[in-house]
Amino acid sequence: MATLKVSSLGDYIREQRESAQVSLRQLAKSAGVSNPYLSQIERGIKKPSAEILQQIARGLRISAETLYVHAGILDERHEGGGDVVAAVLADPAIGDRHKRVLVDIYESFRAEHAAKEAVAKKATRSRTRKATGPVATKPHTTTRRTSS
Amino acid sequence: MATLKVSSLGDYIREQRESAQVSLRQLAKSAGVSNPYLSQIERGIKKPSAEILQQIARGLRISAETLYVHAGILDERHEGGGDVVAAVLADPAIGDRHKRVLVDIYESFRAEHAAKEAVAKKATRSRTRKATGPVATKPHTTTRRTSS
DNA sequence: CCCAAGTGCTAACTGGAGCAAGCACTCAGC
DNA sequence: GCTGAGTGCTTGCTCCAGTTAGCACTTGGG
């Protein structure tokens, strides 16, 4: 299972913030987190908890699940509408035990289907995967004042 | 937004562990967390991160999302959590035959759950809720040995 | 009875999440 | 030029997540 992707998460948050045309302090205030901490998150220095991500998502007016995917808390396959697992978990018409059983069956079906897809793909080979690029450089550098 | 529900999460994890008939140490080992920490989580003393929940879910062979719901990381009334049948039919990750099987199983679970609800309603007469204690009753009491 | 292996837990510890105080810098109004 | 308001960041701190060492207890085999 992938480790939590801190630096790409920070880039994404800063992207969303700048796209919404709000400052770091404004987002920090609406999200209810301190602005130095938000700065550290955006720069990939700190790894926020799911609770902090929920608050940031609320401040950005996006779904928390979007940030979860970037943080590695949720797998990308579960994001968005039509998600079977989310639908099952949210369904009040069945109990927890049934939910677990249904999700297990679904996952095994998915694995079976994926295996079949892999076999089918072997017949049509010659595909290359694109490597992901590094993180963006900082917008400006700061200079510390010499002590008086 | 709900705060993270630590004690109900712990109860659920212990429930799942005991249902799977594994000891605390066995689960801790398969999950890759320390057994005292797992004990603290189950007793509601510590609040685990999403990463730890992922590991525990893997050790229990259940989906991490199930634990996320109990931890309050995911909302049970998730926006994507719409109709289960529609989600299954729309899912490209499984084949048509699997879709029909899954829908059939789901419908039978719903019918079973509905029947149980009907029975439970007949038996219920102004029930009073039992107050939950801080921790579950201990199987044994510990006394610290006086230092030599 | 003894002992090894297993159980769940306590206590002390370390590292990191998250914050408050304060910094240098920019910009606009006076 | 000065000043206030805003910006993003640094530093030091507190508190908690998560681990290690070790405890009492149970159980089964020799």
Closest to B71 in 3D by CA, of B140, B132, B1, B130: B1
Are B47 and B96 part of one and the same domain?
A: no
Are A113 and A72 part of one and the same domain?
A: no
In a domain? residue B97? yes
Are B42 and B96 part of one and the same domain?
A: no
In a domain? residue B108? yes
**CA-to-CA distance for A88 and A94, rounded, in angstroms?**
8
How does pLDDT run along chain A (148 residues), one tens digit per residue?
344 455 689 999 999 999 999 999 999 999 999 999 999 999 999 999 999 999 999 999 888 888 998 898 887 655 444 578 877 877 777 877 788 888 888 888 888 887 777 777 666 553 333 333 333 333 333 333 333 3
Are A38 and A53 part of one and the same domain?
A: yes
CB contact under 8 A, B78 and A84: no
In a domain? residue A134? no
Are A22 and A59 part of one and the same domain?
A: yes
Asked whether strand D has any atom less than 7 Å from the CB of A145, the reply is: no
In a domain? residue B143? no
In a domain? residue A118? yes
Nucleotide whose C1' lies closest to the alpha carbon of residue A138:
D8
Are A19 and A51 part of one and the same domain?
A: yes
Q: Are A93 and B115 in contact (CB under 8 A)?
A: no
Q: What is the CATH number of the domain that holds B24?
A: 1.10.260.40
Residues of B in contact with A100 (CB under 8 A): 62-63, 66
Which string of b and e fits B1-24 if b means at least 16 CB within 10 Å?
A: eeebbbbebbbbbbebbeeeebee
A6-19 helix and A64-71 helix, angle to the nearest 10 degrees = 150
Q: What is the ipTM of this complex?
A: 0.65
Q: Are A124 and A117 in contact (CB under 8 A)?
A: no
In a domain? residue B142? no
Q: Are B109 and A94 in contact (CB under 8 A)?
A: yes
Instruction: For B95-140, write each residue's pLDDT tens digit.
Output: 777 887 888 888 888 888 777 777 776 665 433 333 333 333 333 3
Closest to B70 in 3D by CA, of B57, B82, B80: B57
Are B64 and B92 part of one and the same domain?
A: no
Are A30 and A69 part of one and the same domain?
A: yes
Are A17 and A62 part of one and the same domain?
A: yes
Q: What is the DSSP letter of A73?
A: S
Residues of A in contact with B95 (CB under 8 A): 109, 113, 116
Q: What is the DSSP letter of B140?
A: S
Q: Are A88 and B110 in contact (CB under 8 A)?
A: no
In a domain? residue B76? no
Are A72 and A97 part of one and the same domain?
A: no
Q: What is the DSSP letter of A11?
A: H
Domain end, chosen from A16, A44, A78, is at A78
Are B93 and B66 part of one and the same domain?
A: no
Count of the separate structural domains present in chain A:
2
Which domain covers residue B34, as residue numbers? 6-71
Are A51 and A69 part of one and the same domain?
A: yes
Residue of A nearest to B16 (CA): A97
**CA-to-CA distance for A145 and A133, rounded, in angstroms?**
35
Asked whether strand D has any atom less than 7 Å from the CB of B63, the reply is: no
